[in-house]
Structure formats: C-alpha cells, structure tokens
Amino acid sequence: RHDRGRSGTASPPTKREVGAAMSTKNDAGDVYVSIPADETHTIQASPPVATSYAYYVIPQEPRQQKRCGGGCCCIAIMVGLLLFFLIPRQPSVNYQYMVYSGPVYNGPGSLSNVTASDFVGRYRFENMNYYSVDWSGLAMKNYYMSTAATTDCDITKSKWGATYCGKEMGSYEKKPTFSTGPRTRSYQDVPLTADAGSGTFALNVGEMLTECFLNGQVLVMSQGHISETTGLHDFGKVSIDDQYYWLICN
C-alpha cells in the first residue's frame, strides 16, 4: 500500500502558502518581501540619471566695478568742467588814465576857458567769464589830489607816506548799457561832467592845472560804482575802490 509513501514524504507548499510566508503588507498597501538569512541575493543599482539641471550665473564683480568706477570718473570730470566754465567770476574795472585836451597854461588867466569836457578818462573793463557781461550806470567821481592844499578838502587820503587833500573836479558817467565779450577786455573813453557854471569846478581845475604845468605832473584819483550782470548771475551795483593816476603836463 501506499500509506508509507504518504506518511514519509511531505507535500510541497501551495503558491498561496509561499506568498504568506515570504511577504507582508502594511495598512497603506505597501508589500515588503522578506529575504531569508540563509540565501544570498545580489542587488544591482542603476547609475543615477539627471532629470533636471540648475544653472548659476556668477557675476564678474571686478569688471562691473571697473565699469562703475569709469562712469563715476566721467561724471565727475563733466561736473568739474561745467563748474569751471559756469561759475561766475567777478568782472573788474580799472582806471587807465586821464587825457587833458584843453588850453595850455602860459600865465594867469590862460586857463579860464577850461571846461569839464576837456578831460576824458579811459577805463578798462575786464571780463574773465566764459560768457559776456553787461555794464551799466558807470558813475566815477574824480579828485585832484595835492599835498600843497590843506584846506577845503572834499576827502583826505594817505598814500606813499604822505597825506593828500582831495578836491572833487566832477565825475565820469556812462548810463547806457555796454557789453564785454567772454574772456576779453574792453575800453571806454568817458568825458568828465560837472555842474554847469560851477565856481568850485573852475577853482579846483585851475589849481590842479597850475600845479600840473608847474611841477610836470599831478595826482588824480577816481572812485565810484557800476552795475554788472551776466546771463547766469547778477552782480548788482559794484563799488570800485580808489584808483590813482599821474596826469602828466608838458
């Protein structure tokens, strides 16, 4: 009989029994397979394959700094040039000399016909700006300066260690506007004006010319004011300090 054979040989497990013995399943539905300890399995891992790439732009800072530095230098130079050319510079007025074209002294009474228009003062107007300047309202008083006269002085000045008595002769006036171009000098010949029939003018001029023809020269002084303006700046009424000139009489 076949009883011995059935009792001595175990029946092979079914496919379901193997699955129950070799795997487990958690609540999430994941299946984990247990590998027996007495069996060796070789697991081969495939090399990683990049699925995406990241790009990083590294700024070249030194070059950017050079560009920034160069731009700042250019701006600074441009601003400096603009300031150099546009900053207003004070124009100046200089009393050059006085010309006498009247009668010559040759004794008492020879100067009785002298008039104010016989005296012409030359003034230099200097403009150091890079744009033109307009002048107007020139008013310069003219004085005869003497160390011999000590009374009836209109002003008193100390010059070269001596005290001078100044007597007013009249004034140089030019009211109309005139201009001086950029970085140039211009000249104006302005006749002397005085009150018509002024006995003081005749007396002072007589003294001055007498001293001038006797000594060969006499000191004259001019002071006053003028209005100065440009397209960028209005200097207003500018005072002109004392300016001296030796009138030569031959």
Tell me the pLDDT tens digit for each residue of 196-228: 556 788 888 888 998 999 899 999 999 999 999
Question: What is the distance between the alpha carbons of residues 57 and 81, in angstroms, rounded to a whole number?
Answer: 39
Query: Residue 67: how many CB atoms within 10 A of its CB?
Result: 10
Question: What is the distance between the alpha carbons of residues 35 and 39, in angstroms, rounded to a whole number?
Answer: 7
Query: Residue 54: how many CB atoms within 10 A of its CB?
Result: 4
Contacts of 93 by beta carbon, 8 Å cutoff, 6+ apart:
123, 124, 125, 126, 226, 238, 240
Q: Does residue 215 sit in helix, strand or coil?
A: helix
Q: At residue 15, does pLDDT exceed 50?
A: no
Question: What is the distance between the alpha carbons of residues 97 and 188, in angstroms, rounded to a whole number?
Answer: 11
The DSSP symbol for 35 reads P
Least confident of 2-6, 109-113, 230-234: 2-6
Question: What is the distance between the alpha carbons of residues 180 and 212, in angstroms, rounded to a whole number?
Answer: 34
Q: At residue 16, does pLDDT exceed 50?
A: no
Q: At residue 195, does pLDDT exceed 80?
A: no
Indicate the length of the chain as a whole number.
250
Q: 87 is written with which tokens?
A: 């900053």
Average pLDDT over residues 142-150: 89
pTM over 0.75: no
Q: What is the pLDDT of residue 32?
A: 60
Which residues are 134's β-sheet partners?
A: 179, 229
Q: At residue 97, does pLDDT exceed 60?
A: yes
Q: 95 is written with which tokens?
A: 């009393």
Give the model's confidence band at 128: pLDDT under 50 very low, under 70 low, under 90 confident, else very high: very high
